[in-house]
Structure 1
């Protein structure tokens, strides 16, 4: 029996590839990696710099989470992809804790990659658990 639930969040960012914004399976929700695009103006230039792009990505993740009734408090795991790992890793680490309650950071993997869609500096995907 297929207990998967596929979600496309109407307020969510325009997909840059064929995917669902989120898929529920066995009490977990898998959120597709989000880019630093503006859902209200998807063709606008990307924000400048790793901090601004990370904030936009997290805003987009919150839109998708909200569309399935969740918040960042439900996140169990994050995977972060950086195109300029050595340059941007420290700045990302300084900013990352500001998105979560103190002492409640999700598990995380950060990977350096050669390129991301739309020329982004950062992409983040999440695993969340429904309470």
Structure 2
């Protein structure tokens, strides 16, 4: 096993806790859960509603993935956390699925939680796999 690489992405979302944006080992890239914050204005209010927040979270995941030379097509697993599961699950799914072709959706778990950092309605983390032979 190679030593892990700890990635902090320049221009990436400001961390809301002490963590790396991503950690990579042996071609596996684990992304920290992203919040619906704006990387260009991290103190701005969060977008209104789960649809806008889901889009913001997915954009932040794309920023981190791009920072390590990957994109959503490399994602093999995602975990989503919703604070208003029953209310927001359908709208979340509708928005989430727009980021992936129907035949290339990652494995996913969605969990209802009581609260998330920064008062977010949604947070998503993921695991990506670097293509064989591709450098980190």
Same fold, judged at TM 0.5 (above): yes
| SS of 2:93 mapped into structure 1 | helix
> 1:19-45, CA deviations, whole angstroms, 9 ceiling, x for partnerless residues?
000000121100000000000000000
Q: Give the drift of 1:102.
A: 2.6
CA deviations 1:71-124 (Å, max 9, x no partner) are: 000000000000000000011111221101231100000000000000000000
Say if 2:106 is the partner of 1:106.
Answer: yes
2:96 alignment counterpart: 96
Instruction: Supply the distance in 1 between the matched residues of 2:103 and 2:89 (Cα, whole angstroms).
Output: 20
- 2:26 maps to 26
Residue in 2 that maps onto 1:66: 66
- Aligned mates of 2:76, 2:118 — CA distance in 1: 27
CA distance in 1, matches of 2:52, 2:91: 11
Q: Distance between the aligned counterparts of 2:98 and 2:13, measured in 1?
A: 22
- Normalised by the size of structure 2, how large is the TM-score? 0.94
Alignment gaps of 5+ in structure 1: none
Structure 1 segments (4+ residues) deviating >4 Å: none
TM-score, structure 1 normalization:
0.97
Matched residue pairs, number? 131
SS in 1 for 2:42: coil
Contact 2:2 2:26 in 1 (8 A): no
Report the Cα offset of residue 2 of structure 1. Answer: 5.3
The gaps in structure 2 that reach 5 residues or longer are 132-136
